Amino acid sequence: MAGQQTDQVQPEHQGWSAQDVMAQLRQKAAMLGFSQIGVADVDLSSAEPAFMDWLSRGFHGEMHYMASHGLKRARPAELVPGTVRVITARMNYLPANVPPGWQGIEWERMARPEAATVSMYARGRDYHKVLRARLQKLADELALIIGPFGHRVFTDSAPVMEVELASRSGLGWRGKHTLLLSREAGSTFFLGEIFVDVALPLTEPETAHCGACTACIDICPTQAIVGEKLVDARRCISYLTIEHGGPIPEALRPQMGNRIYGCDDCQLACPWNKFAQRASVPDFDVRPALDGPSLLDLWAWDEARFLRLTEGSPIRRIGFARWQRNIAVAMGNALQALSGGNTTPDAQAQARRIQGALQAWLQAPPAGTDVDLVGEHVRWALSRMAPA
């Protein structure tokens, strides 16, 4: 294993009992900002058939990496030879200053066509950077307790069945929207893992508590949740705005509304998120540039400004062209909602401003963008303007 030696070691070799080690590790994890940790076994064979069926149905879309690693995703000991346990961890990401009733604030934002909606998890620092660094520190703390051991840390960065491992280790259960749910924290948290060659004691799995609720399935704007615990990524707005590289299917554009990066609808509708917890680290505080911007505010960015204002953010990885593509779709939806004879004079004035910005783009596309990709969405957006 990467990190240190590969021989399996037992916690007791330094005089600690396995229970003592876990107690110490939980304390260290809390100090690092993690809200909970668990330990899972590496036998995920019972999850393999469902995963392979999901792939065979093409539900992964253009996420070819999902298929390229084959069953290594369900076999941690093959992904990282020597692994005998997986330490799982979750970290809350709701910004500390988010007020009570935050779900209502988000619904209200999405109801304003001219506003821009960015998924809440993406308004601060890139979680990959935050969790990876803190998971490594947690591994270092474990080494101080038990001595050298082999390990690798992951957070949404390798073929790892994160939700499966987290649910088996007691961090929560897989909801019908496929996200992990916790009775103490809803679903507003990130997951990370440390693959280890230490036979730590397993933690008990959590039972499911969704019952007959289908709120997440019912609310999905594009009906991407095609069955309980089954998502067709090709219809998911998070996939379309982040992972998908080409033109967004026209049939799905109207359902995207003003969501320009990710989608939180299934989480906003979930009753368990009344227990969502605030982050204990400042990394996920909202950046000023993403604190309630309008579509026109963001459309005015050039590539240099995009790169500067998204430095260290997960948004930066989609690139400027996809960013503009997504905003163009939202502006088209705004034009349809704000224009026409049945709307107010203020709404019509907003529509004309959006129309003017789109037309100006066509006349002089900014440097660094993909003229063909973005231009196609700009022309579609302009076609949504209703006659006065």
Each domain of the chain, given as residue ranges in start order, spans 11-196, 294-382
What percent of the chain is modeled with pLDDT above 70? 95
Tokens linked to 201 = 């004691």
CA distance 169 to 302: 45
pLDDT digits (tens, 9 = 90+) for 206-225: 999 999 999 999 999 999 99
The angle formed by the CA atoms of residues 32, 37 and 40, to the nearest 5 degrees, is 145
Q: Please report the pLDDT score of residue 305 as a whole number.
A: 96
pLDDT at 378 over 90: yes
CA distance 152 to 196: 7
Q: Please report the pLDDT score of residue 7 as a whole number.
A: 39
Which CATH number describes the domain made up of 11-196?
3.40.109
**Reported confidence tier of residue 16, pLDDT bands at 50, 70, 90:** low
Residue among 20, 156, 285, 297 flagged as catalytic: 156
- Output the DSSP codes for 286-311: PPGGGSS-BHHHHHT--HHHHHHHTT
CB 302 within 8 A of CB 215: no
pLDDT digits (tens, 9 = 90+) for 341-356: 889 999 999 999 999 9
**Reported confidence tier of residue 22, pLDDT bands at 50, 70, 90:** very high
- Output the DSSP codes for 319-359: HHHHHHHHHHHHHHHHHHHH-STTS-HHHHHHHHHHHHHHH
More confident residue, 68 or 263: 263
Let me know if 156 is a catalytic residue: yes
CB 126 within 8 A of CB 312: yes
pLDDT at 2 over 70: no
**Residue type at position 189:** F
**Reported confidence tier of residue 58, pLDDT bands at 50, 70, 90:** confident
Average pLDDT of the residues in 45-63: 85
pLDDT at 35 over 70: yes
Which pTM was predicted? 0.93
CA distance 132 to 149: 18
pLDDT at 8 over 70: no
Q: Please report the pLDDT score of residue 1 as a whole number.
A: 53
